[in-house]
Amino acid sequence: MAKDKTTTKNDAVMNEDARKIMPSDVMVQADGLVKIYKTRTTEVLALQGLDLTVKEGELTALIGNSGSGKSTFLNMIGGLDRPSAGSLWVDGKNLFAMSEKELVRYKRDTVGFVWQNNGRNMLPYLTAIENIMLPMNLSRVRNKRARAQELLELVGLPNKKHSKMNMLSGGEQQRIAIAIALANKPKLLLADEPTGSVDSATADYIFDLFTELNNGGQTILIVTHDMTLSKKVKRVIAIRDGKISSERVLKEEFADRVRESGIDWRTEDTQDEFVVLDKANRLQLPQELLNELELSGNKVRVSYRDGHIEISAPEKDGE
């Protein structure tokens, strides 16, 4: 018992020290994250100095091509992977200074994870309500069955509590997965491609559910390829080649209209896009703009004129 009290006391001291370093409204603070995966013959650089801040109460989407590093980053926040360099703080906790025991407690109490593969979200031999109650058996949540029933109501499946995985559609499994991730009332909800294997109607329902949770104060971080979903999110972070390349912010005229069925989110220009400077003042230019320059090498001219920084192709010989 004395050991548990000491651990709790140490946690409190660590959190107090962290809050002296980090603003109280910051949920995720990543600085210079680098991740290198090594095999016998090759090294893959998955993250190349990624910097990102997510505040409490934000609903943020991460987008990027396969291999861009977004899932690697999500796994680090979830406590499933560690970087080769850099720092990562979540809810005032330094993830890379944690012992294995502290990391288990962090994954149990601080984050909830919704996997793309439903087989990782549910145990097939348990019913829906038993799956939702399972994480609570490892925590101090009281009235577990009542809490599980409340979550089934939240995801719109109260009549499926006795259903096992093979009795549920893919969309229903994903909604149960969200309930499981919320079981221990996590500070941060992580979702890896939550609409990747469902139809458009279920995708809309899942997004509306995330919006409802976010309106209640839940911090949510989503990795997605679903451009329709990402166009509805107030903040979208684009990752390219292991770094933050740009950030999109929902235009004010669309901020209160995310549930409107009359908007064609696939075609509407709903967001303003900003290129992000890293801490060394470097930026990644969108490829479509570089294509317009018709570059023959890797050099550009940069100049300042009338309050604007101009980037242009070098003059060709003889011009």
Q: Which two tokens stand for residue 81?
A: 């992977």
Does residue 20 sit within a domain? no
* Vertex 116: Cα angle to 286 and 58 (nearest 5): 60
Pairwise pLDDT comparison (83 vs 160), residue with the higher score: 160
Q: What is the pLDDT of residue 167?
A: 94
Burial (CB < 10 A; 0-12, 13-18, 19+), residue 89, is buried
- Number of domains within the chain: 2
Residues 306 and 197 in one domain: no
Find the CATH number of the domain harbouring 51.
Answer: 3.40.50.300
Q: In Å, how far are 52, 97, 239, 280 from 245, measured between CA atoms?
A: 11, 28, 6, 13
- Which residue did the predictor score with more confidence, 125 or 282? 125
State the pLDDT confidence band at 318, using cuts at 50, 70 and 90: very low
Q: Are residues 176 and 318 in the same domain?
A: no
Higher local confidence (pLDDT), 39 or 218? 218
Reported as a single tens digit per residue, the pLDDT across 70-87 is 888 898 999 888 888 889
Residue 201 lies in a domain: yes
Q: Indicate whether 15 belongs to any domain.
A: no
As a whole-number percent, the residues of the chain with pLDDT over 90 amount to 31
Within a domain: 1? no
Alpha-carbon distance 104 to 280, whole Å?
Answer: 35
**pLDDT value of residue 297:** 78
The token duo for 59 is 């609903």
Beta-carbon contacts of 57 under 8 Å, excluding residues fewer than 6 positions away, are 214, 217, 218, 219
Host domain of residue 176: 26-255+266-285
| Closest C-alpha to 53, from 4, 90, 83 | 90
136 and 152 assigned to the same domain: yes
**295 and 248 part of one domain:** no
Residue 60 has pLDDT above 90, yes or no: yes
Instruction: Tell me what the mean pLDDT of segment 253-275 comes to.
Output: 72
64 and 132 in a single domain? The answer is yes
Say yes or no: 189 and 291 in one domain.
no
Q: Judge if 184 and 311 occupy the same domain.
A: no
Domain assignment present for residue 185? The answer is yes
> Is the model's pLDDT at 271 over the cut of 60?
yes
Domain match, 236 and 295 both: no
Q: Is residue 81 part of a domain?
A: yes
* Residue at token pair 């949510």: 220
Q: Quick one: tokens of 43?
A: 């090294």
- Band (pLDDT 50/70/90 cuts) for residue 261 is low
Better-predicted residue by pLDDT, 18 or 294: 294
- The pLDDT value given to residue 27: 95
Q: Bigger pLDDT: 91 or 82?
A: 91
Angle at 32 between CA 27 and CA 36, to 5 degrees: 115
pLDDT, one tens digit per residue, over 145-154 is 999 999 999 9
Q: Where are the beta strands (DSSP E) in 67-169?
A: 85-90, 93-94, 111-114
The pLDDT, as a whole number, for residue 240 is 83
Evaluate whether residue 69 is within a structural domain: yes
pLDDT tens, position by position, 10-46: 555 555 554 556 778 899 999 988 888 887 788 777 8
As a whole number, mean pLDDT of residues 267-291 equals: 77
The whole-angstrom separation of Cα 267 and Cα 45 is 34
pLDDT at residue 3, as a whole number: 43
> What is the phi-psi region of residue 232: left when phi exceeds 0, alpha when psi lies from -120 to 50, beta otherwise?
alpha
Q: What is the mean pLDDT of the chain?
A: 83
DSSP 12: H
141 and 194 inside one domain:
yes
Q: What is the pTM of this model?
A: 0.83
311-34-63 Cα angle (round to 5): 60
Mean pLDDT value of segment 96-112: 90
Residues 304 and 196 reside in one and the same domain:
no
Say if residue 295 is in the same domain as residue 233: no
pLDDT score of 2: 44
Residues 6 or more apart whose CB falls under 8 angstroms from that of 5 comprise none
pLDDT at 311 over 90: no
Same domain, residue pair 301 and 238: no
For the cut 70, the answer to whether the pLDDT of residue 178 exceeds it is: yes
User: Could you tell me if residue 295 is inside a domain?
Assistant: yes
Strands 301-305 and 26-38: unpaired
